[in-house]
Structure 1
Amino acid sequence: MSAPPSSTLPPFDPSDPLGLDDLLTDEDRAVRDTVRRWAADRVLPQIADWYERGELPGIRELARELGSLGALGMSLTGYGCAGASAVQYGLACLELEAADSGIRSLVSVQGSLAMYAIWRFGSEEQKQRWLPAMAAGEIIGCFGLTEPDHGSDPAAMRTYAKRDGGDWVLNGRKMWITNGSVAGVAVVWAQTDDGIRGFVVPTGSPGFSAPEITHKWSLRASVTSELVMDDVRLPADAVLPEVTGLRGPLGCLSHARYGIVWGSMGAARASFEAALDYAKTREQFGKPIGGFQLTQAKLADMAVELHKGILLAHHLGQRMDAGRLRPEQISFGKLNNVREAIEICRTARTILGANGISLEYPVMRHATNLESVLTYEGTVEMHQLVLGKALTGLDAFR
């Protein structure tokens, strides 16, 4: 069958070279465009300053605004949540991370970890108490799994909850916890005599504290904390009743990792667009550097990996919406997309030359943020081993 004449084809769109917009519904585009406008108005004008200062001022106001957009617990149903599709949630993550990884992390931890844990494993009373206010951004949540000495091996966690009469008494430490210092509620995973259990912990509980972690060179516009629990007494109904064991926290992590598959492509897109604009205007040797073959080769390779990554994210989103997305497939997406996003940022930096390290451009900020995204919610090595086990049937974790 012969190809149609070029005059009948849509024009080539440098911002969408594969025509991926054709895969989206009108509602998908509306969600994407709404989040993009919010990020352009509320985050982009100030993010370089926030990053340089190493803080995220007005985080509670930002959370309420994100709640009004329906972006918190976006793909959950009921309890004030938007009930959006997985693809729509992914598009929102992409647009938020195109502004900054710290903003996407705020939303991911709130919705895909803290809220999802309560929504999926909590009692009806826990859902009614916490989820509506969290969906509105009135209460910020955090998720305590990683410990100072146990990251990739959560089964070895030392945080422990023991029964004392009708109560639970919780002791331990959690590390690298997004939103911790501003959270009103923490979902904390702990060893018990019955196995690993999740606890819904009001952060005002006596014995609970969340000192903020400073001196970071990545995710600087994000609140990162340690959680400290010294004899925190909780009522019997603080435990998440519907899960025991690691499948609880790992199920939450799969939900959050899916958002990273999309979000990392937002950081990559912002860096690619900065490099493309720069290449078309920066002149050397009498013409724009975008007119040189080596620069065009870099731009072409970046565009290929960027839009392949978005296509992969969309495919995984469709599988999630169909109830067919496996954890190994999420590992496939996170492993590929974060790695490629970092490489896109590094290549964009070379196109910008010395300007690439300036906060007047987003490239170095995205590159350093992605170094954290590469590690959290599963390191490269962990996702390689997940895929390796799936491919061979042999467990190489131990």
Structure 2
Amino acid sequence: MTDQATHAWTGEVAAQRDGFTLLPEVEAVRDAGETRRVATPFGHEATMVSRYADVRELHGDPERFRLDGVPAPPALVAAGRDTAEFRRRQAGNLLGQEPPDHTRLRRMLTGEFTVKRMKRLVPRVEEIVTEHLDAMEKAGPPAELVADFALPVPSMVICELLGVPYEDRGEFTERSARQLDSTIEPRERMRLADASREYMSDLVARHREAPGDDLLGMLIREHTGDTTGDVTDDELIGIGNLLLVAGHETTSNMLSLGTLALLEHPDQLARVRDDPSAVDGAVEELLRRLTVVHGSFPRAVVADTTLGGHPVAAGELVIASLVAANHDPEVVEHAEELDISRPPSPHLAFGHGIHHCLGAPLARIEMRVAFPALLQRFPGLRLAGEPEFRHRTLIYGLHRLPLAW
């Protein structure tokens, strides 16, 4: 058994694959319809489900399985944070809330992330992509795709949308990458979280003085004041931090991993490069196949019930393996293979239910623009060294992807 395989059940819910390959131990549990007790990266013990149907059931029923019933992670308690403080710091974080607060906050944001609204951003996304490809071409090969393209493109997009100064990107991208590292010690994780809150708190204060046309400015202009139901400063901080991290980390890793996956399948790469009609299907297949968010946040069982035919007790925590579910052979034939021509499946890369990723339309637009633009600019694109995978991290991806053309 490899080191990573050992981690699958001993504390690394994040370590469920080797390269692009799902670990055999994870596959076996899913295919047998079993569950496993796991330790999350934050120190909770939870029951993990991995079949597609079970994951949809878990995510689709906030009445039985609630994010806001999860106590403070033991690692944070040991570091000096109690559950009350944990709850306060969850304000605005839609991934830790349930109705009615989740409903209230999501309603404020949904209009800004509709497919129609996101399509208005296409020209600006195209400009940003072109600027970075121009810089890569001018510098000449070799290039490092993560640093030169995959990370800065979605970072600039989310900065402009949210109202974050782009010159701060070095600080927040490094900090978020460390926060997502599942090996970080609890006190260091707490320090990083404090730094993120302090940064966003200062930014919210500046936006209050002069609200702009960005997302933070909109929330302050339209949803703050003295009326019941308005967004609080803690919620603004939580919303800002969630969107800033999710808005660049997920798409960045999809762009780098997706490029590597296509390089391993030259015929499919050629279709994405040369056939505009193939791009949308390719993006959906890459989302399913790569599933950069390994697993969901734990949910608390409200009352004794069953999940996937297995009894779960009130107070127990349950977590889902999204990557295993997206490779479920009961849903997708030959799921371990990349096939951009397969009919799109209702994958779970963006989650499911009321917590389905708010930014999914934006992520899709960025990928639909970036992949063909990169491949068309550099038709001879090839590896110029060994890719460096991000193992043991809550969002899968690459540290480095050296390329030439």
Give TM-score scaled by structure 2 length.
0.24
TM-score by length of 1: 0.24
Higher relative contact order, structure no. (Cα contacts within 8 Å, ≥ 6 residues apart) = 2
